[in-house]
Structure 1
């Protein structure tokens, strides 16, 4: 998307975020375009998931107001806002994809803990290339950069560690009963609340440049959105819409706190923490691995983050990326 169009759509988004009517004529005057051009930009925002409706004689309005994500507002909630770069973009295809481009591009000097957050993702991704639905104003989609000088082997258990960090962040909002589904989903009241996508750039034997992607449902009512499986959101659980900037800061702060410990000591110290949050602990589960299906009892994880499954033949270990998991 051209920079000029990006700025215009960001301006229109900031106007509509108050949930009030704005006439096409007034918007056109503010952005210096014709009403027809404005209608085209708003149509594009609607295609990206912004719920805009038009009433003749009144103009354009969102179905509900929402607070825009804002770098300075996020930093106000952070314990050490100067620690890393926190950047908010109005529209990107995928925060993970954008950070991966920056890793490869030598012009961007990435530092551990740098964060990119998107108001709108047009091509968000989950595991195995599945799309990740992130309605504008109703979700938190962020990616964080972190490097592992000792390479890929020092990252074992990273997605599980990130799940712990998200659960710790949710405690700041009175949510103490979030759970984790191996290897990278956060659940609330038995339904999916957040997903984690870890992607890595780098050569074997060299520093692993890692992108930690998190998609968290803030206000995604299940009667309005079908994400392909039962899902939950923070607004439904809390009974009110939480401050997305505060939620973003809590997640970022939690990652900043736990990732240095993980880098130094590995996942082993976190094993009992993760097991206490295990959604399927000691329950029968079914694992799909390619064409094969396995059934057994979830017996937790080992120090590498591998899932331990008890079958008639004993304990088997399964590693991230190989299996999907559902309660049996």
Structure 2
């Protein structure tokens, strides 16, 4: 029953995604339900964050139409043959949660570069357990699987490497000057554009199964989402909302291009590239670690991805985890 409801809502979302009015009767005929049942499903879409307008005599429409994510379209934008999976789901609690579930339940079916994307995340997560808020059709949220046979220690600097891949993918839509905030944020014109959440499954000393989660703002309704810091989206920068399918393909391609070298050589070969894009390079920063605050000058990162902070006492290294960074 739950799967049937999911498919019906996915169908209704596809109908409404053109941004035009559709009568309740027409939608009911389309999905083979009563108008009352359709109204219930549309109410659920509204609960997921879609602005669905109902106008008497005209029917339903979304505030803003958008092109749905499509696995086949994404694959067509990817260069060369691709064996890894591209899976688009209409609704998931979280793409990271879904990928972690697959690691636990069907690990032998996974391949490096497998990707799960979602139009709707009902329980998206950011760092430190924060909620990741994303409007339907206005964001790009996906998770990629990648294994590290040499274990957890071989993943040092992974979130920084992923940031580089996101910036490389953004070039495909005309964004050449994105910057990186240690350890896992992408910024554009001084505001947050995307976030990265790395999660790991596996035992100490065994292969580490990583989940690379990415959330990127494509078209965020102004003042609708409070993420606790200044944020921006691609539509505001470009003047239009770029195609999310081609953007997804560009970032996926960049990840699959950079991750093999990272897996073999670590983050060392990427240090200079990351530092050239460091948002706070040579600026005074404040690090928050629980109740403790630490201030110094950002001097880049080392081969392990640790942040180098200069104070009167010399250079101190900080690793990810529970550290939050702000400019002063």
> What TM-score comes out, normalization by structure 1 length?
0.98
Moved more, 155-164 or 311-320: 311-320
Partners of 1:322 and 1:59 lie apart in 2 by: 48
> Does structure 1 conserve the Cα–Cα contact (< 8 Å) formed by 2:128 and 2:322?
no
The aligned residue for residue 12 of structure 1 is: 12
Alignment pair present for 1:250 and 2:245: no
Q: Could you say if the C-alpha distance between residues 107 and 30 of structure 1 is closer, same or farther in structure 2, counting changes exceeding 3 Å?
A: farther
- Say if 2:193 and 2:233, in contact at 8 Å, map to a contact too: yes
Name the counterpart of 1:64: 64
SS in 1 for 2:240: coil
Distance in 2 (alpha carbons) for counterparts of 1:206 and 1:233: 39
Deviations 1:199-258 (A, max 9, x none): 000000000000000000000133333322211101110111101101100110100100
Per the alignment, residue 314 of structure 1 pairs with: 314
Other-structure match for 1:192: 192
SS in 2 for 1:294: strand
Structure-2 residue corresponding to 1:271? 271
Correspondence for 1:37: 37
**Could you tell me which residue of structure 2 aligns to residue 165 of structure 1?**
165
- Residue 202 in structure 1 maps to residue 220 in structure 2: no
Q: Who is 1:178 aligned against? A: 178
Give the C-alpha shift of residue 312 in structure 1: 1.4
Q: Which runs of 5 or more residues in structure 1 are unaligned?
A: none
2:54 matched to which residue of 1?
Answer: 54
After the TM superposition, which residues 17-32 of structure 1 pair with which residues of structure 2 at under 5 Å, given as runs? Answer: 17-32=17-32
Aligned length in residues: 328
Other-structure match for 1:219: 219
Distance 2:226 2:285 in 1: 25
Are 2:115 and 1:115 aligned?
yes
Give 1:322 deviation, angstroms: 2.9
Alpha-carbon distance, 1:264 to partner = 1.0
CA distance in 1 between partners of 2:221 and 2:55 (Å): 24
SS at match of 2:168: helix
**Distance in 2 of aligned mates of 1:233 and 1:92:** 22
Q: Take 1:30 and 1:275, find their aligned partners in 2: how far apart are those partners?
A: 53
Is this contact kept in 2: 1:284–1:297, CA < 8 A? yes
Q: How far did 1:32 drift?
A: 1.2
Q: Distance in 2 between matches of 1:41 and 1:123?
A: 19
State whether residues 142 and 215 of structure 1, in contact with CA within 8 Å, keep that contact through their aligned partners in structure 2.
yes
Spell out structure 1 runs of 4+ moving beyond 6 A: none
Q: Could you tell me whether the CA contact under 8 Å between 1:73 and 1:245 is conserved in 2? A: yes
The separation in 2 between residues aligned to 1:107 and 1:291, in whole angstroms, is 39
Query: Which has the larger displacement, 123-132 or 30-39?
Result: 30-39
Moved more, 9-18 or 71-80: 71-80
Matches within 5 A, 1:278-289: 278-289=278-289
Using the TM superposition, give the Cα deviation of residue 107 of structure 1 relative to its aligned residue in structure 2, in angstroms: 6.8
Q: Which runs of 5+ in 2 are unaligned?
A: none
> Per-residue deviation at 1:317?
0.5
Question: CA–CA distance in 1 between the matches of 2:83 and 2:107?
Answer: 20
Q: 1:81 to 1:129 in 2, by over 3 A?
A: farther
RMSD, aligned CA: 1.1
- Does the 8 Å CA contact 1:16/1:22 hold for their aligned counterparts? yes
1: CA distance between counterparts of 2:296 and 2:81? 45
| Residues 30-55 of structure 1: CA deviation (Å, up to 9, x unaligned) | 11111111111111111111111100
